[in-house]
Amino acid sequence: MTFDLVEVGHVAVILAFMLSLVGIVAPLLGLKSRNGAWIVLGRQAVTLIFLLLAIAMGTLIYSYLARDFSVKYIAATSNSKLPLFYTVAALWGGHEGSLLLWVFILSAFCTTAVWLHWRTQPATIPYLILVESALMFGFLALIIFLSNPFERMIPAAPDGKDLNPLLQDPAMVMHPPMLYMGYVGFSIPFAFAMASLFSGRLGEEWLKVTQRWTIFAWLALTTGILMGGYWAYYELGWGGYWGWDPVENASFMPWLVGTAFLHSAMVQEKRKMFKVWNLFLIIMTFSLSLIGTFLVRSGVLTSVHSFATDPGRGVYILLFLATVMSVAFGTLIARSPKLRSPIQLDSIVSRESVFLFNNLFFLVAMFTVFLGTLYPLIIETLRNDKVTVGPPYYNAVFMPIALGLVFLMGIGPSIAWRKASLENLRKNFLIPLFVGLGFLAVAAIAGIRSPLALGGLAVVGFVASTITFDFGRLTAFWAARQRVNLAAGFLTAFAKNQRRWAGLVTHFGVLILIIGIISSTIYQTEKVVSMQVGDQLQLGPYTLLFKEIRSVTGSNWTAQEGVVEVTRGDRFVTELRPQKRIYDVSMTPTTEAAIHTINMGQLFVTMPEVTPAGATIRALINPLVLWVWGGGAIMGIGVLLNLFRPKRDGT
Amino acid sequence: MSKGKKIGLIISIVAVLGGLGYLAYGNFGQNLVYFFTPSEVMAFAPDYYGKKVRVGGMVVKHSLKVEPGSREMTFELTDGAATIPVSFMGIPPDLFKEGQGAVVEGYWDQGRRFHSNMIMAKHSEDYMPIKLKQAGVEMPKKDFLRTLRPQ
């Protein structure tokens, strides 16, 4: 047998696993003996783990490209006909490779954090190394003993089984790494929080140091979730982007709690309140990140019985989760008497209290999702009954919560700390309140009857005007004070408090996103018809002519392609070509949507069925659906403005 | 913070939690959809008639009939022990075929026929058509409900 590079990767992972023990023991000895050399050893260990895991990833990617089907995992997730781009991405197309990617990102972040904060946070570093190494130990043990992507088989498979065709898509290539960067990103504030708990230095330090890590993790997670939605939208061919699928929920739960944490951290920074609460939130966020990873990749969502086919893995995952959570929450409980905040809430009409309700809403939202996602698993375990919780449950519960949160989003940034006077309220909210009511009136006159749309528009109007008002007032203030024009005043106002404005930009993105969601779900037009070549279909103002059906061939698929000409009156709009594909290797059919954008909305056509006489055509108009992604992009810009703000800009 | 204000705060928190909790509770029970096999459907007590349920089984070969020119179709679903007739209106998913596993959502009416407008196919990272086929016969209740989604 020739020398196989993939074995080098396997050895690298085993070495990394052993070094993670060094990463656990060295800082403990360092703390005990107060000898800095142990801590330096710990740093060398985590740095080496990162390099070793990089080698492991590299060799596995090389073996994918070399089409080495003697590696079980490669044979299960790729095929010699798979295009190059997806061959690399197939690495995270299954359980084993995803775990490797997860721990690789963890080691990269851990190493970065250790070197970055080495000088400024010497007291925290040992705990950081300890916590992160313990996590890496847990994951690497799972990889080596129970989910090994380097496992070989002899003889090698003649060819691979291929990557699930639905995953052969650019958005799906980036989606898992993004999500994982979010999940793993939260491990840094988590480790700092644990350091603060272990060491008993319970001030605000850990929050301030990890603020950018939190924001970065939140950005990655948000991007990952939105990418997943975008993928579902055009690849799954049902024209929606969020189906309350357990897999989606798994990534949404840490997002909800992470967002609550992001906000309540500000209260502690400014007012030294919510200390226990913030620690609770970050522990919760990271625990949900772990649960999210395992829910999606362990197969437990398919059925709890799939645990029975691989009991070791299931039991291990449960034990790992239980250990992390009981150590974290246990320490928090043990320390909580020392965490009493000396400052109390002054008034219920204050920014503190708005933040409190913001947190309450986010947590309730998380629990509703948690209940809907895990209730079926509990029922199946206890009663052996199969049950699902349908999207109507989530929609009915979630929409009011979301509108409540958006409403609070308008009040929070403008209301005074401690106790808002009537004057403060009147000055900030009277006009926006009327704008909101104005939106409501206009919408009602325009014929909108859905309570969700009406409520949504009113709240969006209110919040949009608080934001505009805020910007406007400070722009005018600085323009007058520095005797410059409004544009220069705007820039000064922005530069004076970039963090605040960046947050408002993100809030503005949320408004756009909400309008996109309301419009594309409530005002979607759908038609499904069996058509023969030459038939016409009227969809809203558009006429769809089914011109022909033909065969086309791609690199690893063949398809029946419908040609649909779209006209509006006499005017030609576009030609759409939905496909019904069959992938060569797995012989799986997929439905490829054809999309045309008009006025930020989209015409969405699929051909779900080809019959001897013609085809079934499903056509949708999704008004303003681009606002969903546009809103997401604006949110991202806001977060980037926050991340890359000049240091020391006041608050 | 004075005692009165504290009580005010607690009342408002309880009110918010209560309201949202009620919303969740009220909608939860209604939207639980239970999963059955064709045998269980045949043994349904009358209070299950007309209730939204999901049924998983294998589509019986040569039972699929499509109404020409419409989107209506009929087929039979079996778990090996019992077979039920299904009327379906809508778009079947990509993986729907005779001799394959399928899950249908709809209701069982007194006329001894299952009416459905949603069929689900497997949506999962692990692509295994043969297993799915077995799952449709041997383990309809066990193995493949939760990764299914409407397509």
Residue A155, exposed/middle/buried by CB under 10 A (0-12, 13-18, 19+)? exposed
Query: What is the per-residue pLDDT for A648?
Result: 57
Chain A nearest C-alpha distance from B121 (Å): 12
Phi, psi of A291 (to 5 degrees): -60, -40
Q: Does residue A629 carry a pLDDT above 80?
A: yes
Q: What is the mean pLDDT of chain A?
A: 89
C-alpha span between A555 and A77 (Å, rounded): 17
Task: Assess contact for A64 and A74: CB atoms under 8 A.
Answer: yes
Of the partner residues A93, A166, A397, the one whose CB lies closest to the CB of residue B27: A397
Residues on chain A touching B27 (C-beta within 8 angstroms): 392-393, 396-397
The residue with tokens 């998983």 is B56
Helices (H), A147-236: 170-185, 187-199, 205-235
Cβ A237 vs Cβ A591: under 8 Å: yes
Nearest to B17 among A360, A393, A591 (CB): A360
Determine the average pLDDT of the residues in A112-132: 95
Residue ranges covered by each domain of chain A? 1-168, 184-412, 413-522, 525-622
pTM of the model: 0.89
Segment (H or E) for A567: strand A557-568
Question: Which secondary structure element, helix H or strand E, spans residue A458, and what is its range?
Answer: helix A451-482
Give yes or no for residue A210 having a pLDDT over 50: yes
Asked if the model's pLDDT at residue B134 lies above 70, the reply is: no
- Per residue in A414-430, pLDDT (tens digit) is 888 888 888 888 888 98
Cβ neighbours of residue B111 closer than 8 Å, sequence gap 6 or more: none
State whether A94 and B32 contact (CB < 8 Å). Answer: no
- Summarised one tens digit per residue, pLDDT across range A447-466 is 888 888 999 999 999 999 99
Judged against a pLDDT cut of 90, whether residue B122 lies above it is answered with: no
Distance from CA of A437 to the nearest CA of B (A): 23
% pLDDT > 90, chain B: 7
- Answer whether the bond into residue A391 is a cis peptide, omega within 30°: no
Distance CA A20, CA A9 (A): 16
How high is the pLDDT of residue A300?
Answer: 67
Best of A393, A528, A530, A583 to mutate (most B CBs within 10 Å, chain B):
A393
The answer on pLDDT for A361 being more than 90 is yes
Amino acid of residue A608 = P
Quick check: A301 and B147 in contact, CB under 8 A?
yes
What confidence tier does A301 reach under pLDDT thresholds 50, 70, 90?
low
> Maximum Cα–Cα distance for chain A, whole Å?
85
- How far is the C-alpha of A39 from the C-alpha of A21, rounded, in Å? 14
Tell me how close the Cα of B82 comes to any Cα of chain A, in angstroms. Answer: 19
Whether residue A307 is predicted with pLDDT greater than 60 in this model: the reply is no
Mean pLDDT over the full length of chain B: 73
Residue B18 at interface with chain A, using a CB cutoff of 8 Å: no
Q: Which residue has the higher pLDDT, A298 or A643?
A: A643
Exposure of A643 in the CB half-sphere (CA atoms within 13 A):
16
- To the nearest whole angstrom, how far is the Cα of A483 from the nearest Cα of chain B? 44
pLDDT at residue B12 in the model: 84
Cross-chain CB nearest to B8 (options A76, A348, A609): A348
C-alpha dihedral sign at A526, A531, A533, A537? negative
Q: Is the pLDDT of residue B151 over 60?
A: no
Kindly write down the DSSP assignment for every residue of B109-132, as one continuous string: ETTTEEEEEEEEEE--SS--HHHH
Interface of B with A in 126-145 (CB under 8 A): 126-127, 129, 141-145
The string of pLDDT tens digits covering residues A515-545 is: 999 999 888 898 888 888 999 999 989 999 9
Share of chain A above pLDDT 70, in %: 96
Write out residues 98-137 of A within 8 Å (CB-CB) of B. Answer: none
